Structure 1
Amino acid sequence: MAVTERITTPFTAESTAAQVLAGVDLGGRRSVVTGASSGLGIETARALASAGSEVTLAVRDLGAGRRAADDIAASTGNKAVHVAALDLADLGSVAAFAAAWAGPLHILVNNAGIMATPRMNTPQGWELQFATNHVGHFALAGGLRPALAAAGGARVAVVSSAAHLRAAVDFDDLHFERRPYHPWVAYGQSKTANVLFAVEATRRWAEDGIAVNALMPGAISTNLQRHVDTAEMERLRARSGAPEQQWKSVEQGAATSVLVAASPLLDGVGGRYFEDCNEALAHTPGSPGGVAAYALDPAAAEQLWDITARMLA
């Protein structure tokens, strides 16, 4: 396998989404951000709208989505901010969203997710975090592939997490049917799946000019942690190596998302994992960051793609 040079940028962990897109003109481009009614999603959408993109907020709660859209329009002056229903755990909802989309799509940000939930399964029997974080977004991106191809040079940004370091994808027991369920292992597996999706989608969709990259936004306090109690949050802070005051703001967290989604610095780049606005180094044992080799493994990426496609068949 050819060795590729690590991509670095002038931006850092402290950079904000607005700084990353300063001077970038997204006029005439259309974006979709999932989970954009709060937290990282709304700030990602706000930065894209500020740069001139037409943005659709894909959300479960339409009321919250409309409030977010109004807020973004007011703060950016961009009135081309739309809201559409999307529940990633409901494949009917995903199919309806994709079917309703008309025209090209230049940017897709797979931002929505759930974290460390109690044991729950979908009606199909799939573990909920894997089904929502990976399968739902896989189905969405696949349904929108014609629109992405029509755009020419489209980007897909997949929000993963350093939690991918907790677990590879267990191909023998994806849904915890035989092993004990652990909320963080399930979350970690789903986040590894996000990176593997980026690797394989880039390979399969290269002929369409679609580049897909995964990213870690950073340690940020958002609604994502709603299933995590106070004691567990303290353990998370200790594990991240950063006390609460050193966690990122949502504006800083969205910086890596918009870098991957829209920065000219990443034109033509795909199949990689970014953190703190730069391509991640290989993870070394004992360090809190970096990317695991298993998350970038082409064979695992192809295997996961084939399994997911069969699940959706």
Structure 2
Amino acid sequence: MSDYVIPVGNMSRAWLDTLQLVHERGGRRTNVLTTVTDPLAPEYPAVRAAIDRVLVPGKHKSGTIQTVDTVAATIFPHTLYAAPGMAWAPELSPVDAARLDLAAADLYEVYSEMLPLLCTADGNKRGTYFGRMVSWPGKEPGGVNQLADRVKYLRQVRRDGKRAHNLSDIAIGGEAEPCANITSPEDAGSAADVSDVDDVGLQVYAATDRRQRGFPCLVHVDLTLLDGQLSMLAVYRHQYLITKAYGNLLGLARLLGYLAAQTGFAVGELAVQATLADTQEQHFGGRRGIQALIDSTLSSALLK
């Protein structure tokens, strides 16, 4: 049965509310929608500390355990991005625009160089989500940089003064092709030209992939522009609420923040649809163990 988690302004609270809802309804639910209205708001320390205590890196009966930051970095490696502290705009000076572009180029280059090594780590043997975004199909450098194509596309939408635009998927099946009709800012033209651009997404899940379990669980990411705000919806086919969900939220929030800064739009909301949400109680102390984790965060004065 579908479940709807009441939208909240904080990512930590959204994760906790999702965990509590699924736990109270049996530990597994289908089509669970979680929404964060302010994805870049500071995390709640009590919630982060509670999940960090559980996610001790190493082998576990549930599989290989990664820290929250490690999981988040598979979606967006924020420590590799030297943010210039500004947002893109059509009127940005050439010097500042060059600084913003250089920061992005450095991120792509450094990550692509690291990619073969990253793919040797436990949990990354089939690649990383960010690797597939910047070097499709994602196991070695030199692939299609889908993220750069998407930024270029959104900048043209901004140049045309659009504050509401029905953007297509940024993720999943189909072929990873560049935005062929816009080759450079100088070549981009009017609003009519933008409507002719092929709407391509950041592909993280190949249509030819026949795996029923395992990587990738993230199968779809969609961007929507409304009232000058860029919002994101991510769809997971299996959302592991203990080992992955918090890191996934953090990584997606950082990716959304990056796209907003690189294109000049305000950050909108982040929504995650889990086709199957799982508290993983069989691996983390049963129902009592999950309840103890929830109680340890709810007891914080900040969350009362």
Q: Give the TM-score normalised by structure 1.
A: 0.31
- Structure whose residues are more often strand by fraction: 2
Name whichever structure is richer in helix by fraction.
Answer: 1
TM-score (norm 2): 0.32
Look at both structures and tell me which one has the larger radius of gyration over its CA atoms: 2
